[in-house]
Structure 1
Amino acid sequence: MESMISLKPKGKGKGPKGASSSDERSKLQLVKEWSNWSLKKAKVAAHYGFIPLVIIIGMNSDPKPHLFQLLSPV
């Protein structure tokens, strides 16, 4: 069983090494949670903000179309 790769640290003592590794692990976990949270919020913002962004850019274009002209398929 020694040939299997273990992700756990070899040191089992409760010295400063154990405290720093758990502290590093908690910091890494915190960074993962925040990045996951921010990506989810960015996905929602992009999903609901895309069409209004296109309409606003279309309204500010050079020929100045009306809203009905932007939304009609023809």
Structure 2
Amino acid sequence: MASKVALKAKGKPGKGSKGSEKQSKAAQCLKEWSTWSMKKAKVITHYGFIPLVIIIGMNSEPKPQLFQLLSPV
């Protein structure tokens, strides 16, 4: 029994790969955009969480004073 070996091209794409270049450029753009947006979301979450908790706490019933929200007891 003879077995066939399948060869896969590695490295730079050959001729006629314009479609894959567009796809790879679109994938690269999507990757950069998602990385940028995740970094911004991390910063917004980091600096916005405690003010959000304070605002929600001050709008609840009974209405506490700011000092009561910030004190640990």
**Do both share a fold (TM > 0.5)?**
yes
Detail structure 1 runs of 4+ shifted over 4 Å in the superposition: 2-9
- Deviations along 1:46-73, one digit per CA (max 9) or x if unpaired, are 0100000000000001010000111011
Provide the aligned length of Structure 1 versus Structure 2: 69
Among the aligned pairs, what percent are the same residue? 58
Q: TM-score, normalised by structure 1?
A: 0.79
Answer yes or no: is 1:12 the counterpart of 2:11.
no
Alignment of 1:31-42 (within 5 A): 31-42=30-41
Task: Structure 2: state its 5+ residue gaps.
Answer: none
Displacement of 1:5 after TM fit? 6.5
CA radius of gyration, larger in: 2
Q: 1:30 to 1:73 in 2, by over 3 A?
A: same
CA separation in 2, counterparts of 1:6 and 1:41?
A: 38
Q: TM-score, normalised by structure 2?
A: 0.80
